[in-house]
Amino acid sequence: MLDADICHAACDAKDRRFDGRFYIGVKSTGIYCRCICPARNPKRENRTFWPSAAAAEAAGFRPCLLCRPERAPGLAPIDAPARLAAAAYARIEAGALEEQGLEALAEELGVTSRHLRRVMNAQFGASPIDIAQTGRLLAARRLLNETALPITEIAFASGFRSLRRFNATMKDRYGAPPSQMRGRKAIVRGETFTVSLSPRGDYNIAPTLQFLATRALPGVEIGDGKSYARVLKYGDALGWLQIGMGPKGLMLTLSENLAPHLRPLVANVRGAFDLDAEMTAVDAHLAKDRELAADIKREPGVRVPGALDGFETAIRAVLGQQVTVAGARTLTDRLVQKFALRTAGFQPAMGGELTHAFPDAIALANAGVEEIAKIGLPKKRAETLHHLAVASAEGKLPLSRGAIAAGRAALANIPGIGPWTIEYVALRALGDPDAYPATDIALINALGRKGETLEHLKPWRAYAAIRLWRRIAKKGIRP
């Protein structure tokens, strides 16, 4: 059954996270659309909602020529090609074909490479290789205009394996060689480079920075009221990044050795800092709750602070079970000191020194339960951490942003992982806008009652949770 309030809210926000979950029939035009249709939203009284395109057409509605309902990532078996194409497109945009070949990507998605090529051509009019090529070229243009990296390094950082091929492709596609495409402003080369990320709508970075600074691990992260920096391991590259506000949005500064991972890093940071949420619609929806209306009026635009590493988030969530933020931070710091990889000592512009990378899955899997327990954990909890590490090391724990269903299912199979942990990881790492850890003691204290699941605030209960946690924190009680 479709909830009209949820459908209206998703329609008003044009929220892509609900694309394909329902369709909007417009009584005044006889047309049905996806919730992300670029046309002006119809009046509420003219909207009807249908669980499938077939249901809308059976009711007499015709498909919209702008949003093309047949391309929506639907839930029915007939929509499986669109879902597959969307999943493949997201992975390719994040650099999957640079990390692995087409055969490996197809295997990851559970299809043959031939079928994947056929589906991508049908959905997007381009092959996976063509889509990847466009992504490489756009990444190269960004590096050319926003960094002082030499052209040779940009070629390889963008995913090209030959400078000659890079030059020829750029000239063929854009009519000029890379050397003529650099911006006029001289950029001095250093050990870092900076790119700008534009948020959707007005952006209030303070709540996210406050969240990160409160939980920052010594040596791994540094946070203050203006920026956040941390060590990050991407593939074989161990570098650091710093994020803060600039005149055109977020400014992402990366150590140069992370340049080859620019595309997935940008996608990751956009998700972790919730840059693509339509906060006007989210706040308007949450304000229907009297208890949240005052919070929203006082501090509009509070987004969901996410995570840059799904595995790390799961580990920290387990360490945070039934303890305070300070207690969880102490345990996590012990884990870092015992199992982390030391760095040469990165010094971000904001000051301080970054000396450790968070322990990866292989390190914790190899450590074993007994060694993990020595940081001061009960054996059962140490076993849970070890199970997480083994599952992640074996590729059985998909915790990348957007893998909501697969990530939840994988977590549920780990002994010692309960509903609170699943909801928390879904909220922070998987990007589920409706995740809500209803058993969280801080949320219960904020509401003053148990068993409240805030069903009336679907589909953005994650934002309600953030609001309630901030309410508790301002009273001096750390959630």
* Paired residues of 356 in beta bridges: 342
**Please, which contacts does 435-439 make with residues 24 or more away whose CB atoms are closer than 8 Å?**
435/461, 435/462, 435/465, 436/461, 436/462, 436/464, 436/465, 437/465
Sign of the Cα torsion 47, 52, 58, 61 reads: positive
> How many Å apart are CA 96 and CA 103, to the nearest integer?
11
HEC sequence for 175-199 = CCCHHHCCCCCCCCCCCEEEEEECC
Structure tokens at 388: 């997480």
Q: Cis peptide before 459, with omega less than 30 degrees from 0?
A: yes
Q: Are 230 and 308 in contact (CB under 8 A)?
A: yes
Q: Are 348 and 240 in contact (CB under 8 A)?
A: yes
**E strand intervals along 123-265:** 192-197, 221-223, 227-234, 237-246, 249-255
**Choice among 7, 11, 33, 35 that is catalytic:** 33
Q: Are 306 and 401 in contact (CB under 8 A)?
A: yes
Sign of the Cα torsion 124, 127, 128, 134 reads: negative
HEC sequence for 426-445 = HHHHHCCCCCCCCCCHHHHH
> How many Å apart are CA 444 and CA 467, to the nearest integer?
13
Place of tokens 């303070």: 206
| Nearest residue to 309 via CA among 367, 269, 349 | 269
Pairing state of beta strands 31-33 and 62-63?
parallel
33 catalytically annotated = yes
> How many Å apart are CA 312 and CA 169, to the nearest integer?
38
> How many Å apart are CA 408 and CA 19, to the nearest integer?
20
Q: Are 440 and 420 in contact (CB under 8 A)?
A: yes
* Paired residues of 50 in beta bridges: 23
Sign of the Cα torsion 333, 350, 142, 206 reads: positive
Active-site annotation, residues? 33, 440
